[in-house]
Amino acid sequence: MQPSTLPQLSFQHKLLAIAALVGIGVSIAMYTISVSTPVPNSIWKYRFVRPEVGGVTKNIRREIAFHQQKIQQQPTAGLERAALAQNYLKMARATGESSWYLLAEQTAQESLVQLPIHNYGATVVLAKVATAKHNFTQSLALLKQLPPESEALSLLTTNHLALGDTITAHKTANTLAFKVPTLGNLTLKALVEVAQGQDLAAIRDFKAAIVAEEPDEVESSAWVRTLLGRLYYKRGKLQQAEELYQSALEILPRYSPALLNLAELSARQWQADPAQTKDRDRAIELYDRFFIINQQAPTIYDHVALRGLARVQKLQGDNLKANQTWERAIAKLRSDLSGFGHRRELAQLLMERGQGQDLTEALTLMQAEIKTRQDPETWDTLAAAYLKLGQLPAAEQAIQMALKSGLRDPAITDRAAVIAQARGQLTQASKYRAQVKLIDPLFDAGARQALGLGVGLSGLN
């Protein structure tokens, strides 16, 4: 990936090979934001010793080397390949680099060739990679081959959420969290509750997940704080959101989801008071920090950073630079379509750019995407495409599907108001706008400019 358009970006980070990720400058990892930021609230503070710089990936690399050596000694060892695939997947989650997902998938397939039956580990890896690629039905088919153990049930919950089946997701998540109340299971339960509009229950379970964290769950500890921060952000509670993002970054200073959500928050704060250019500068700095850290290897978050940076550039009035950044983001997403299937994100970008045949292509993409993914954001993006093309009855049907689960999302409800207004349903439009203010009392034009750029509450991009 290319670094940001600003001239000072010239550091190196992760190498793509298995033995990579060495020799990284400590100064990149242990960065500090150049403007004042809230100190994380003590209740979000990580209770354990924070890992050393690169410590998480260092431990995974050690495991990778161990299993590679075992495979050299026993080339037909199916279980060793399954274990190796699981560690590749851990590296993918720790770094966000798409290449590790592909290595995990390839190694799991090789494992199944060597051991085609009773190979739980390899099958779970393939199911997880399928979910990462947004092949939810394929993932569910693989999970049917497995016993209903914790790991399989948690992935079932994620897939059902993506497919818009919150009832099944709720049942599975509740069962799982009751039997095994770990950080991961409680977080999944909270995500289902967010999708159903149960804010108080979700916050309770997010907090319970933090209490339940263990010292070997470093990435998950950063993940749950970012998700809770994202929920507070969508409720207009920006101070709490920032504290949680900062807490996640104290655990893992290079954690992309927290970094990008904090950048989005900074852009929103700038739009709330455009005279406060320090918030704009911080947003740019955070996006560029992401590019510094990840310039050597593509990640699944690249398009989020590029879109966010383009939005800031456009709001600055630099349309030329914004268009160049959008082009990079669109090119990135087009190259991902065969691998990680970001059709929804590509459609959102095309609608935001709005040139030539962008809107028609966006609608075509969303009509294909809705066949495989039916969560509220996907329905909302389809509604936006119909709205942009003036197909108002179809837009209204799609937005009603987005609202169906009960998800309290200010941007989706605001879109419902715009559609109702366009259809002449003025009373209904007013009701939607009142609901927006109940969800996020600070929601305004500036918030509308920023919302939708961060790493979403589903945890999938």
* Whole-angstrom distance, CA of residue 276 vs CA of residue 270: 6
Place of tokens 């970006």: 9
Residue 81 lies in a domain: yes
How many domains, in total, are found in the chain?
A: 1
**What CATH number corresponds to the domain at position 72?**
1.25.40
Residue 121 lies in a domain: yes
Place of tokens 């919302």: 451
Dihedral (CA of 113, 118, 123, 125) sign: negative
Written as one string, the DSSP assignment of 6-45 is: STT-------SSTT-S-S--HHHHT---SS--PPPPGGGS
Q: How far is CA 10 from CA 3, 5, 13, in A?
A: 7, 11, 10
Q: pLDDT in tens for each of the 461 residues of the chain?
A: 333 333 333 333 332 332 333 233 333 333 333 334 555 567 788 989 888 767 788 889 999 999 999 999 998 989 999 999 999 999 998 888 888 999 999 999 999 999 999 999 999 999 999 998 889 999 999 999 998 888 899 999 999 999 999 999 999 999 999 999 999 999 999 999 999 999 999 999 999 999 999 998 999 999 999 999 999 999 999 999 999 999 999 999 999 999 999 999 999 999 888 888 999 999 999 999 999 998 888 888 999 999 999 999 988 999 999 999 999 999 988 887 666 668 999 999 999 888 889 999 999 999 999 999 999 999 999 999 999 999 999 999 999 999 999 999 999 999 999 999 999 999 999 999 999 999 999 998 878 877 755 444 444 44
Domain of residue 69, residue span = 14-24+53-132
Written as one string, the DSSP assignment of 57-99 is: HHHHHHHHHHHHHHHHH-TT-HHHHHHHHHHHHHHHHHH-BHH
Residue 412 lies in a domain: no
Residue 101 lies in a domain: yes
Residue 285 lies in a domain: no
Dihedral (CA of 293, 298, 303, 304) sign: negative
* Whole-angstrom distance, CA of residue 285 vs CA of residue 129: 32
Q: What are phi and psi for residue 352, nearest 5 degrees?
A: -70, -40
Residue 427 lies in a domain: no
Residue 84 lies in a domain: yes
Residue 376 lies in a domain: no
Q: What are phi and psi for residue 299, nearest 5 degrees?
A: -125, 165
